[in-house]
Amino acid sequence: MDMNFNDNSSSIRLLLKKDNAITSVISRFKVFLKDNGIRTVFIRSNQNADYVLTVARLLNDDFRVFLECDLFVYRLLKKKLPENSINIELLPAFDIGLSVSELKEIVSELPVRKEPSYIFIRNNSKIIDKNHTKLIFDVIIKEAGAKNIKFYWDCGFVLCAFTENELGYFIQKGSEIQFSCPSIINVDSPLEIKVCEKLDRHVDSERVLPGMSLFSISSKFQKALKPYQSFGIYQQCNNCRYFQKTCPGGCKALVIKSFQ
């Protein structure tokens, strides 16, 4: 089944921090997700592989679960997760600034299968080296394309990071480029929702309470970010015909940082 990563209305990112946090709130957490129409949960965690799998299995009866992980954790989880696991899928992550050889290594370890596999590409930098991106793109076409691998480009990217040919290729192949910020549930004690990890210092998180609407929380986040919505990460964003239409101008945490 193909995955629409840009459908923020039916997906949410779960940030795990403490080993014992989720088990005490899992029932309330699942009710909240169901009440808000969530069907897919992305789990990001720096905890051990066994704990991450435990949480995934608590959720996978009701939701499709993607486990975001670097190459090291991916290898650990791959050994622990049966190939026929239903509704749990590994999502190896690759930072755009890393070497092309590391991306090739990730691609080589993903299986060839009828259903698409996914690689999550992050961008933690304001400056995107287009020459380096071109090398990454070559790997995507020559090696990943042959294995039915699709890519999820995270919200740190801007439209101008890609050429028209690259964008056309991703659209044709069904890969997703995320130009908006997905809400994150931080499973600590208590359950909290934040707009993202990088904006945590700038936008207050909201505690999850019974009957709470994810839409109303997102609206509060957008209101808090409104003063920065008319700015992009580059000075030339204001002269771009796609700004505030197709592209919001990149990571708002970087925009806010430029004002400090």
Half-sphere exposure at residue 208, Cβ-oriented, CA atoms within 13 angstroms: 24
User: pTM score, two decimals?
Assistant: 0.82
Q: Are 66 and 40 in contact (CB under 8 A)?
A: yes
pLDDT at 195: 80
Does residue 113 sit within a domain?
A: yes
- Could you tell me the two tokens for 194? 């934040």
Let me know if residue 92 belongs to a domain: yes
User: What pLDDT, on the 0 to 100 scale, is given for residue 84?
Assistant: 61
Domain that holds residue 88: 11-213
* Mean pLDDT score of the chain: 81
Complete edge-to-edge strand list for the sheet that includes strand 11-16: 176-177, 149-153, 117-122, 88-95, 64-69, 40-45, 11-16, 184-187, 191-194, 206-207
What is the percent of the chain where pLDDT is above 70? 87
The confidence score (pLDDT) of residue 62 equals 92
Q: Can you give the CATH number for the domain in which 189 is found?
A: 3.20.20
Using pLDDT thresholds of 50, 70 and 90, give the confidence band for residue 188: low
Task: Kindly state whether residue 237 falls inside one of the protein's structural domains.
Answer: no
- Counting the structural domains of the chain, the total is 1
**Residue 252 falls inside a structural domain:** no
Q: Specify if 198 maps to a domain.
A: yes
Q: Above 70 in pLDDT, residue 1?
A: no
> Is there a contact between 193 and 221 (Cβ–Cβ < 8 Å)?
no
The residues, any chain, with a CB within 8 Å of residue 257's CB and separated by 6 or more, are none
Q: What are the tokens at 53?
A: 């799998």
**pLDDT tens by residue, 125-141:** 666 777 777 788 888 87
Residue 248 falls within a domain, yes or no?
no
Q: Is residue 75 in a domain? A: yes
Query: d(Cα 201, Cα 199) in Å, to the nearest integer?
Result: 6
Q: Are 119 and 70 in contact (CB under 8 A)?
A: no
CA-wise closest residue to 32 among 12, 15, 51, 16: 12
Look at residue 20 in the predicted model and tell me its pLDDT: 58
Express as a percent the part of the chain with pLDDT over 90.
2
| Structural contact between residues 152 and 118, judged by C-beta atoms closer than 8 angstroms | yes
Neighbouring-strand partners of residue 41: 12, 65
Q: Is residue 1 part of a domain?
A: no
pLDDT for res 5:
46
